[in-house]
Amino acid sequence: MSTRDLAIAIMIALAIVVLSAMFFAWRRRLRRDAGLVAPVGVPDDAATLSRHEILYVSTTRHDQPLERLAVKPLAYRARGELVVTDQGIALHLDGEQAVFLASSTLVAIGRATVTIDRVVERDGLVRVAWLTGDDTTVDSYLRLATGDPQNLISELQRLVPAKDTGATS
């Protein structure tokens, strides 16, 4: 066996080790996050207010934009449509069931520049903070295909319930 053949064999073996490590790490993440599920199915009586073409980027731990969560069915990046309704937000992602984030589960809406796998121009992402079924707060990141994210953010912020500050008048 020549030196060149040995080098090729080592590179192939190294590639197999790296790909295997990535595969098993992702499987472990899927098992870890198996309890986190996004609500699916849009209510029949939800009135559509607007539609926006989006790229769904990721869902992460709240305020930890580099810690991806494999929330079903939001585990993978996808193109799709965000539908703003009078009752919440519907995410129709290619190849997945529609995810519906009811107004009561929304925590905050804002802008972001970075999340796992994606860095964009300053404040180019829309960050939707919401509660999973077990009351875990997570952040989902969306990128508008066209238009200014600020207009969508203003529209979505109207859906977030007012916080009870405990103040009385």
Whether residues 52 and 132 share a domain: the answer is yes
Give the Cα separation of 55 and 144 in Å (integer): 6
The amino acid sitting at 161 is P
> What is the pTM for the complete model shown?
0.80
For 144, list phi and psi in degrees, rounded to 5.
Answer: -70, 140
Q: How many domains does the chain have?
A: 2
Whether residues 72 and 22 share a domain: the answer is no
In a domain, 107, yes or no: yes
Whether residues 65 and 14 share a domain: the answer is no
In a domain, 108, yes or no: yes
What's the pLDDT score for residue 56?
92
Q: What residues make up the domain containing 19?
A: 1-32
> Domain of 133: which CATH number?
2.30.29.30
Q: Where are the beta strands (DSSP E) in the chain?
A: 48-61, 64-68, 78-85, 88-93, 99-102, 106-112, 114-115, 118-119, 125-131, 137-144
Q: Please list the pLDDT of the chain residue by residue as tens digits (169 residues).
A: 789 999 999 999 999 999 999 888 878 877 777 777 788 888 889 899 999 999 999 899 898 888 888 888 888 889 999 999 999 999 999 988 899 999 999 999 999 888 876 667 777 899 999 998 777 899 999 999 888 888 899 999 989 887 654 555 5
Whether residues 79 and 136 share a domain: the answer is yes
For 150, list phi and psi in degrees, rounded to 5.
Answer: -60, -35
In a domain, 57, yes or no: yes
Tokens of 165: 């500050």
In a domain, 82, yes or no: yes
In a domain, 162, yes or no: no
Whether residues 137 and 73 share a domain: the answer is yes
Whether residues 26 and 89 share a domain: the answer is no
Whether residues 112 and 64 share a domain: the answer is yes
Could you tell me which of 168, 123, 164 has the C-alpha nearest to residue 142? 123
Give the Cα separation of 141 and 156 in Å (integer): 13
